[in-house]
Chain A
């Protein structure tokens, strides 16, 4: 409803006062402006919406799925006042660039319904973010996180499969619209099977490994994760994305996120490389070099010293 009103306002500006009357009549007659926009949506020969193109979310869900305030840094330590913790050493030198942007939540009801034990683990993950977030290690993000990371991704809608290719880590997923065998193992991006409900593409995502997260706030799941996504055209250049998340090992009930995905409209937009595998080699393996490389950084007002450690085997091998 709110979206409909906004659409009317924009149209008002364009058409002027005379349009007001007729528009009000149309709105009163039922076909909502949303439906009008949907009719301009690009479609395939079979009449289904064609989502092909380069898209990107434009929110802070990857920082935290629920509503959150700005933070001076994602890694902090106590300051001189309980209300004023300060950035910790790993991010201090980044100043305002290293802060966490605030944002409205994308979770319905703004609460993730963790079981009490799982909530403890989420809090623990939050505290140990720098050691644990799979994004930091350039691991494939899983679903739904891949959909709202701050990088573009491309949808290629074929005739019986839809492929999504993500700029981050060259991750990819295939949505099978045809009949396929179940996936034989758990995987980072899961196994996606889709079908149409009217103009909505509904995707069932299973077989996800338990090592991906939802965001940089430590929100996690188990290998029992089941995600049902719904992609509905809002306008030719926006998709309403919804994901219902079920995981009885971690959450007390299913919960839902929703957000728009926006088409990247730059005429020269294209996916480029974000080959973070190579970028994180120093982070992941620098402690195993014969001669340590990154030891110390010196700026005008500060020196940052780095001491590398080799953690015990269970942590080393379960990175």
Chain B
């Protein structure tokens, strides 16, 4: 059958772990962000776990690449990845872009060990284990939807190839301040709950968010309080695909004058992204598009896409309307599509940075790209609003706790 779900028993036989896996989860946070949305199981087919680890890029790119009937490199297909690479390089690797065999074996063992204990939140809350808190319950719930764990690990130590330390460059003072403001706001809404600092309910609880909120915040006064994924806004570009059943899959269809990618990512928040191949100028600066104004051109066999005109209602790692993205799509060989992006935003990062992801060709007969029906089936947002109103009413009648003292924002495993 097309839907191959590795059994829990098989997962249980694996073992689990630390640095790499921690880093990897932070990569997929944006897509996996919330537990209350219109979650549904991902059913993208899995490559067998026995598939060998991808060779280093040096060994690739030697064969002839498939071409379209009109002579362009053929980027088409259904692409995903089953190989784990953290976005940022764990610091112990320094400037080394690839692991040694021994390091790889150790990291894989760690990953398998970590996979063995799904479903519990291992963090502490105010010095106490999180077991039994709202956090822990939310994690257990989400674990089901996250599906199969990744079981393969790249030799690459990070997706980020530039700067040399493989890490997102430091934020500018302006961005640091922006983020601190938002963190303070998020913390204020959590104060006095099991997921926040001890103390009374913060007087800031009714404040406006300092930015156009897309994060999970501990409030459901308005739909705008809920995170972007819960509101079915889909992922922002650039998309870095996660691994495992929840990691996402993309379908690329190519015509001579345009390329379109359907990203089936997140919790039913799939979206179509059209890249015209043209030499027209970008839109006027005041026009904002949620996935930017993409203009593609061929440089040799690489499709280079320049993306500007982002929106202040999008958020790529702290970068909003000033994001400038250059994406490079390159068919490396029959089974590999290299997707690289360079992100620059002088109001956010102190320098541009570049990351690469090597996507694997999925079997098109068995890997289905499913329609996102997030908004149409968004009982999650409806439920959060409705239930919070009901909880407020119950509290007023002395029948339950004050919803303001409950943590509905930090659970679910997305923040590990």
Contacts and interface: CB of A to CB of B under 8 A. Distances in A.
B364 interface: yes
Nearest to A310: B386
Interface stretch (B67-75, B83-91, B109-117): B67-75
Given A52-B257, A159-B68, A277-B231, A290 B365 contact: no
Given A162-B253, A290-B221, A188 B260 contact: no
A159 B233 CA distance: 30
A45 B67 CA distance: 13
Given A180-B364, A181-B368, A273 B274 contact: no
B335 interface: no
B79 interface: no
- Give the interface residue-count category, chain A: 35 or more
Interface string B374-402: 01100101100110110010000000000
Contacts of A179: 365
Contacts of B43: 184
A278 B233 contact: yes
A170 interface: yes
A184 B224 CA distance: 34
A162 B251 CA distance: 11
Given A45-B69, A188-B373, A268 B280 contact: yes
A45 B256 CA distance: 11
Given A156-B255, A174-B262, A180-B364, A187 B385 contact: no
A159 B389 contact: no
Contacts of B231: 277-278, 281
Contacts of B381: 285
B276 interface: yes
B371 A45 contact: no
Given A159-B74, A160-B76, A161-B76, A170 B272 contact: yes
A163 interface: yes
A19 to B, nearest CB: 34
Given A154-B274, A158-B253, A278-B233, A183 B289 contact: no
Interface string B263-276: 00000000110101
Nearest to A162: B253
B320 to A, nearest CB: 15
Contact of A165 (B254, B274, B365): B274
Interface string A163-187: 1010001111010001111011001
Contacts of B137: none
Interface string A194-224: 0000000000000000010000000000000
Given A288-B389, A289-B222, A163 B365 contact: no
A156 B274 CA distance: 9
B262 A163 contact: yes
A163 B260 contact: yes
Contact of A156 (B74, B254, B271): B254
A46 B74 CA distance: 16
Interface string A272-288: 11010110010011001
A contact face: mostly helix, strand, loop, or mixed: loop
A273 B290 contact: yes
B376 A139 contact: yes
A319 B385 CA distance: 15
B253 A163 contact: yes
A38 interface: no
B364 A46 contact: no
Contacts of A290: 221-222, 388-389, 392
A285 B382 contact: yes
B2 to A, nearest CB: 5
Contact of B385 (A45, A174, A189, A288): A288
Contacts of A53: 257
A183 B254 contact: no
B368 A184 contact: yes
Contacts of B290: 273, 275
Nearest to A275: B290
Contacts of B271: 170
A162 B313 CA distance: 31
Interface string A298-318: 000000000000100000110
Contacts of A163: 251, 253, 260, 262, 272
Nearest to B251: A174
Contacts of A160: 76
Contacts of B369: 174
A102 to B, nearest CB: 31
Interface in A61-82: none
B100 interface: no
A159 B76 contact: yes
B254 A158 contact: yes
B53 interface: no
Interface of A: 44-46, 50, 52-53, 134, 137-140, 154-163, 165, 169-172, 174, 178-181, 183-184, 187-189, 211, 268, 270-273, 275, 277-278, 281, 284-285, 288-291, 293, 310, 316-317
Interface of B: 2-3, 43, 68-70, 74, 76, 221-224, 231-234, 251, 253-260, 262, 271-272, 274, 276, 280, 287, 289-290, 313, 364-366, 368-371, 373, 375-376, 379, 381-382, 385-386, 388-389, 392
Given A46-B69, A188-B376, A275-B290, 14 more contacts: A45-B70, A139-B376, A156-B255, A159-B74, A165-B274, A184-B2, A184-B3, A184-B43, A188-B371, A272-B287, A275-B233, A288-B223, A290-B222, A317-B382
20 contacts: A52-B257, A53-B257, A140-B376, A156-B254, A156-B255, A156-B258, A169-B375, A181-B366, A183-B368, A187-B371, A270-B276, A272-B287, A273-B290, A275-B233, A275-B290, A281-B223, A281-B231, A285-B385, A289-B223, A290-B222
Top 5 A-B pairs ranked by shortest CB distance? A45-B69, A288-B385, A290-B221, A172-B272, A163-B253
